[in-house]
Amino acid sequence: MLFGHPDTWSSDSVDFDGCQDIIEMLCTAGMQDPCVAVGGLLKAPIKAETRLRLDKLLVYLESIQGICNNGSMLLIEDSVIFSRFELDQSRQILYLHRARPLRHQALSYTPVFMTASWFGLIRMRLASYTLAILCHLDSVDPSPTGLPTDDTSTTTSAPTDPLLGDVSSGTTTHAPAVTTAGACTTPLETLLHKLTEFQSVFLYARLELPSEERPALLRQFAKRETLLFLHAHTKSGTVTFPRPRPLPEIQTRELYATFWALFGEAKSALAVAGTREVTYLREYYWYYARADPDQELHVLFAADAVSLEQMHGHVQEILVNVNRQYS
């Protein structure tokens, strides 16, 4: 990762000033996250009817002046409930959210550079959920009156909207000055009042959404012969990586170590043109990996419980259950 103008780059200097927390997250928790390994997202499953109603609500939200249909996403802790962003955008916003959670704040505003443009990322707390939206920097005037913030001739009182305040410190922070002379802008306070109204609409809708982040359980997808598996949907980015069944800690560590070692070998093998699936036998384990145009699957089986002939039946069962869970 390099920052600044290319003319300032050199072979031995990299500037991480200001993003140390993001780098630390990616190099610690991120290194143990299967989503990072396959470039995907953890998603909380919801019913198709709920997904449709939520989509309509977010379409309405994106129609508000200042947001300009740039996309929106609803999170529960570190899992995505629903996103109208592209996969790359969803992943970038989720990484930022994991590295810089709202904690006691009700709202945060961060300038972000995505898809070759600058945007304002607003994250707002909705009960136990987090709403993330993008707005054009030149469509939102950060000063409460709609005037540029460098206009010293105008003074304003502090906004009274509770969403404008930092709960942890009791202070109010406005977005940086980004407007240009003559631009058609929306005062940030006006936009946040619209978001407050949306908060009421969202809560009144009483959508059937998960109230907490629920870990996927292996028994939901596979029989006891399956020790671990990782499934990634290529287009949606949905990653399924259930926890292993309860075992002594030393055996659990061995399972993970074996899985990730063979995962690396399988990824290298699948990168070869024409290779669609691979199978390995390592001491007590069978490892099966398969890469289709729309999905990728890695499974670790107990070698004494599954034969090579039975393996494909177990794989098919996993695929059916995963697709049913997130369809």
Percent of the chain with pLDDT over 90: 41
What topology is assigned to 218-326 in CATH? Beta-Lactamase (3.30.450)
What pTM value is reported for the model?
A: 0.75
pLDDT in tens, 253-303: 999 999 999 999 999 999 999 999 999 998 899 999 999 999 999 999 999
- Other CB atoms within a 10 A radius of the CB of residue 205 amount to 13
**pLDDT attached to residue 283:** 87
Query: What is the arithmetic mean of pLDDT over 163-189?
Result: 43
- How many residues in the chain? 327
pLDDT in tens, 183-206: 446 677 777 888 888 888 998 888
Tokens of 171: 């202070």
Contact yes or no for 139/187 (Cβ under 8 A)? no
Evaluate whether the domain defined by 44-205 bears CATH number 3.90.1720.10.
no
Alpha-carbon Rg of the chain, whole angstroms?
23
Distances (CA, A) of 323 to 98, 146, 240, 294: 26, 48, 10, 12
| Edge-to-edge strand list for the sheet holding 226-233 | 239-240, 226-233, 295-302, 285-291, 277-282
Whether 44-205 and 218-326 share one fold: the answer is yes
Domain parsing of the chain, residue ranges: 44-205, 218-326
Contact yes or no for 89/116 (Cβ under 8 A)? no
**Dist. CA 324–CA 327, nearest whole Å:** 5
**Residue 75 confidence class, pLDDT cut points 50, 70, 90:** very high
Residue 196 CA, chain-centre distance (Å), reads: 23
